[in-house]
Structures are given as C-alpha cells and as structure tokens.
C-alpha cells in the first residue's frame, strides 16, 4: 500500500492530518520521528532558508536538491514537492517534464502546485500520467506580484465563491488533497464539507481535514511571530544564547577545555 493511500484512509476515518514543511534530511528525520503524516518540501524555503523576500526566485534545481535531502531523512513518511514558480505554467509538456523529475530524481511521492480553475488542465494531465497532485487555493504566494501582498483571501461573497469553485476544480481534475491558505475559517469549513478530498489548512481555521505550517515558524526559528502559527518552542532565542556563550568562552580561552582536547 502506498503511503498516500494511508493518508486517504486516515482522512476517511476522520483523523486530522498533520503536514509540516521540511527542506533537508535533518528536519525530515525529526518530522518523521514526531509522527507527522506528510512532509511538504515547500517553496517557502526561498524565504525561510535561502533569504529571499518571496518564493519566486527558487527554481527546479534547488527544489530537486532539497527534495532529495528531505526524502533521505523521511523514513517512509510521504514527501510532497512544491512545483516552483514558472515550472508548470508554460505548457502541459513542461509541467509533465518537471513534475516527473520530482518523482524520478527527487524521490517524492507527489507534487503540489498553486492555482484553481486555471490549472485544471495541468492537474488533469499530471494525474492522468499517474503523478499524484496536491492543489493549493486561497492565498497563492507565487502570485504575490499581482496580489500586491499576502492578505486573507475570500472575504467577500464574490471572492469566496471563486475560491470554492477553485477548490472544486482542483478536486475534479484529480488532486488527492488541496491546501487552503489564508481564508476565513467559515469558508474553509464550508469547502471542507463540500469536498471529498482532504483540505489542508494554513491560516484557514480549525475545521480543515488537516493542517500545514512552516516548521521553522512553529519552532520559533524564524524572526517574525505570525498570527497563523502558534510557537511551540523558541529555538532562535536558544540558539542565539548558545552561540553568544560560545563566542564569549572562546574569547576568554575557556573552550576548548582539557575535556575537549587530546
């Protein structure tokens, strides 16, 4: 049985699905040990670890490299690779060629791509080629230039209707799940009850079939405190304290001590 099938069985049994981002083997081994259901190699790695201000600069080679690292640490936990900006928009052939690289070279179990009705033909082509796809509607960070920022989507009747239609189109095209990003909780609840595939929310309230977050945010490794991500640790603060102590100890000649020497 494939691990994505297990994910669907958990959804059908009413179990909440836990998806977290992982960008390398060290983090994915921790995520696997902690019992997450699925690891997403998000293009958020562009902001979180590569230092860019949005997700647009990362390309196929970087995403593939991080997918390979993540799969090595994942110990069988399903890994979904995010298709980067402009890796699936140009043509059906381009989408098929790039998505298949994530499966064949990256070792991923599935790909994720942003968009609703507009990417229906892409999702259909990939699923017909036996590449599992996770959709992504609501806030689509790869559209930041046309959106002008990262705000809550679907607050008006008209935009809420569009997001519902997008989610239904993604399901109809054959996706196995759909990410709902930054939409009102009531809209996410309505979409979750409409769909027969799991909704994975981020900033979309508690009523989705599962939740996804950027792991570095919940561990307190990133600078900003985000409303959507409760922090379960303050690792940045702890790391800073440890590093400052080390700098101070080396300056004072306190480390390495005899214990650390041969």
Q: Which of 43, 109, 166, 217 binds ligand KIV (CB under 6 A)?
A: 43
Q: Which of 22, 42, 78, 154 binds ligand KIV (CB under 6 A)?
A: 42
185 to 244, contacts with ligand KIV by CB under 6 A?
202, 212, 214
Catalytic residue among 93, 128, 158, 181: 181
Q: Which of 58, 77, 82, 173 binds ligand KIV (CB under 6 A)?
A: 82
Whole-number minimum distance, CB 5 to ligand KIV, in Å?
Answer: 22
Asked if residue 44 binds ligand KIV (CB under 6 A), the reply is yes
Whole-number minimum distance, CB 254 to ligand KIV, in Å?
Answer: 41
- Counting Cβ atoms within 10 Å, is residue 145 exposed (0-12), middle (13-18) or buried (19+)? exposed
The tokens 């303050």 sit on which residue?
234
Whole-number minimum distance, CB 226 to ligand KIV, in Å?
Answer: 11
- Based on CB atoms, which residue is closest to ligand KIV, 56 or 168? 56
6 to 25, contacts with ligand KIV by CB under 6 A?
21
Q: Are 177 and 132 in contact (CB under 8 A)?
A: no
Asked if residue 171 binds ligand KIV (CB under 6 A), the reply is no
- Based on CB atoms, which residue is closest to ligand KIV, 146 or 261? 146
Q: CA torsion, points 223, 18, 176, 24, in degrees to nearest 10?
A: 50
Is residue 105 among the annotated active site residues? no
- Token representation of residue 21: 């981002």
Catalytically active residues are: 181
Interface contacts to ligand KIV, rule CB under 6 A: 21, 40, 42-44, 82, 179, 181, 202, 212, 214
């Amino acid at each position: 049985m494939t691990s994505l099938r297990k994910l669907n069985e958990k959804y059908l049994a009413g179990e909440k699905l836990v998806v977290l981002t992982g960008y390398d083997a060290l983090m994915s081994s921790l995520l696997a040990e902690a019992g997450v259901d699925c690891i997403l190699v998000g293009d958020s790695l562009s902001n979180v670890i590569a230092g860019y201000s949005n997700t647009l600069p990362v390309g196929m080679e970087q995403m593939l490299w991080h997918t390979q690292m993540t799969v090595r640490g994942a110990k069988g936990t399903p890994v979904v690779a995010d298709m980067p900006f402009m890796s699936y928009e140009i043509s059906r052939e381009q989408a098929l060629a790039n998505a298949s690289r994530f499966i064949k070279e990256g070792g991923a179990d599935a790909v994720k791509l942003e968009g609703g009705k507009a990417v229906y033909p892409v999702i259909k082509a990939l699923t017909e080629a036996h590449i599992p796809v996770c959709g992504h509607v609501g806030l689509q960070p790869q559209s930041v230039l046309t959106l002008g920022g990262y705000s809550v989507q679907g607050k008006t009747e008209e935009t809420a209707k569009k997001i519902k239609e997008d989610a239904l189109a993604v399901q109809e095209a054959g996706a196995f799940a759909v990410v709902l990003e930054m939409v009102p909780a009531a809209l996410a609840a309505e979409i979750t009850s409409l769909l027969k595939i799991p909704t994975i929310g981020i900033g979309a309230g508690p009523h989705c079939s599962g939740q996804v977050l950027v792991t570095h945010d919940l561990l307190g490794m990133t600078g900003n405190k985000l409303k959507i991500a409760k922090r379960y640790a303050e690792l940045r603060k702890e790391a800073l304290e440890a590093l400052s102590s080390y700098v101070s100890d080396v300056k004072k000649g306190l480390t390495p001590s005899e214990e650390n020497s041969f």
